[in-house]
Amino acid sequence: MSPEKMIRMANQIAMFFETKPHAEGVNGVAAHINDFWEPRMRRQLLDHLATGGEGLRPLVLEGADLIRKPKAA
């Protein structure tokens, strides 16, 4: 998936959870990604986060540690 598409998808999730109380929002973003993103997609996102996460909204950045790391393929 193109990096732009991945960033857009993650940010779309973040924007929904931005209306929730902050802590719930951070958890919500990570939980949603854990529940619905296949390991390849999470790996791509985590790799991007590891290099600074440019373009990602704050809730994604803050929830980075809560996103489950996929097992090595």
Partner 1 sequence: MKDFILPDADYGTPAARAKETVTLNIDGYDVTVPAGTSIMRAAMEAGISIPKLCATDSVDAFGSCRLCLVEIDGRAGTPASCTTPVAPGIRVHTQSEAVQTIRRGVMELYASDHPVPGLTDAANGDSELQSMAARVGLREIRYQPVAQHVRQYGADGTSNPDWKPIDDSNPYFSYDPSKCIVCSLCVRACDEVQGTFALTIEGRGFDSRMSAGMADDNYLSSDCVSCGACVQVCPTGSLQEKSIAQMGLPDRSVITTCAYCGVGCNFKAEMRGDELVRMVPYKHGPANRGHSCVKGRFAYGYATHRDRILKPMIRENFSDPWKEVSWDEALGFAATRMKDIITRHGQKSVGVVTSSRCTNEESYLVQKLTRAVFMNNNTDTCARVCHSPTGYGLGQTFGTSAGTQDFDSVEHCDVALVIGANPAAAHPVFASRLKKRLRGGAKLIVVDPRRSETMEGPHYEASHHLALRPGTNVIILSALAHVIVTEKLYDEAFIRTRCDWDEFQDYAEFITDPRHSPEATEALTGVPAAEVRGAARLYATGGNAAIYYGLGVTEHSQGSTAVIGIANLAMMTGNIGRAGVGVNPLRGQNNVQGSCDMGSFPHELPGYRHVKNPEVRAIYEKAWGVEIDPEPGLRINNMLDAAIDGSFKALYCQGEDILQSDPDSQHTAAGLAAMELVIVHDLFLNETANYAHVFFPGSTFLEKDGTFTNAERRINMVRQVMAPKQGYADWEVTQLLANAMGANWTYTHPSQIMDEIAMTTPSFAGVTYEKLDRLGSIQWPCNDSAPEGTPMMHIDGFVRGKGKFIRTEYVATDERTGPRYPLLLTTGRVLSQYNVGAQTRRTENVVWYDEDILEMHPHDAENRGIRDGELVRLASRSGETSLRVWVTDKVSPGVVFTTFHHPGIMANVVTTDYSDWATNCPEYKVTAVQVSPSNGPSEWQETYERHSEQSRRILPAAE
Residues that bind partner 1 (CB under 8 A): 1-2, 5, 8-9, 12-13, 15-16, 18-20, 32, 34-41, 70, 73
Answer whether 8's CB lies under 8 Å from 40's CB.
Answer: no
Contacts of 43 (CB under 8 A, 6+ apart): 70
Q: Which of 58, 45, 39, 63 is nearest to 9 (CA)?
A: 45
